[in-house]
Amino acid sequence: MNTRDVDIAGERLTMHPERALYWAARRTLLIADVHFGKGAVFRRAGIAVPSGDTEDDLRRLDALFDAFKPERLVILGDLVHGAATSRSAWVDDVRRWRDRHANIDMLLVAGNHDRHFEVTGLGIAVQPDRLAMPPFVLSHHPHAHAESYVLAGHVHPGIIMRDGWRKHRLPAFVFDRDVGMLPAFGTLTGLQEVKTLQAHHVFAVTPAGVIPTRPATTE
């Protein structure tokens, strides 16, 4: 699968089709909106969804670690979906996975869903609000910052692309003048179609890799 580089705020970032962003200069891997345990929450509510979503997401993270060899993982909010119970096998899965990657610093910039679970119990540090990593501010909510470019999650951005008569809803990376939004990482997350403005850089995540859908601007 093809990656694609983009220059934002004077830094080179690499978009990966597994819906992750790598900042090579800081050896930092960024993801957003994992929603661990979402399948378990649905099943407890009587909604029939297949199990194995957490294992799939952990395997995808393992592959990203192999590809980039990061020193740090930063999750831009909503690492978990809801409260866990003693029957939530995903909690043990994530703890074992964290132990296998003890050499990688892991930090969560807390999102609205993360209030339902004590993430530090997974061995992952928590930043309750925005995190400054100049020239960026890392955040869950995509609100502009007066002095820094914001990289955020929360929205689960997606776009519609047409292939002849067929219509495809695809995750997307969206960068405007002040804020960049990452696609949701989690397997069971949905999409919110974003209305693209001329100043946006929009990249669709496709089975073939990350592709641009409109020209970049420098305004």
Q: CATH: 1.20.1280, 3.60.21, 3.40.50, 1.25.40. Which one for 4-212? A: 3.60.21
Q: Domain limits of the chain?
A: 4-212
SS3 sequence of the chain: CECEEEEECCEEEEEECCCEEEEHHHCEEEECCCCECHHHHHHHCCCCCCCCHHHHHHHHHHHHHHHHCCCEEEECCCCECCCCCCCCHHHHHHHHHHHHCCCCEEEEECCCHHHHCCHHHHCCEEECCCEEECCEEECCCCCCCCCCEEEECCCCEEEEEEECCEEEEEEEEEECCCEEECCCCCCCCCCEECCCCCCCEEEEEECCEEEECCCCCCC
Mean pLDDT of the chain: 85
- Tens-place pLDDT, residues 12-65: 999 999 999 999 999 999 999 998 875 455 444 344 344 557 889 999 999 999
* 179-190 confidence digits (pLDDT tens): 999 999 997 667
pTM for this predicted structure:
0.88
- Higher pLDDT, residue 197 or 99: 99
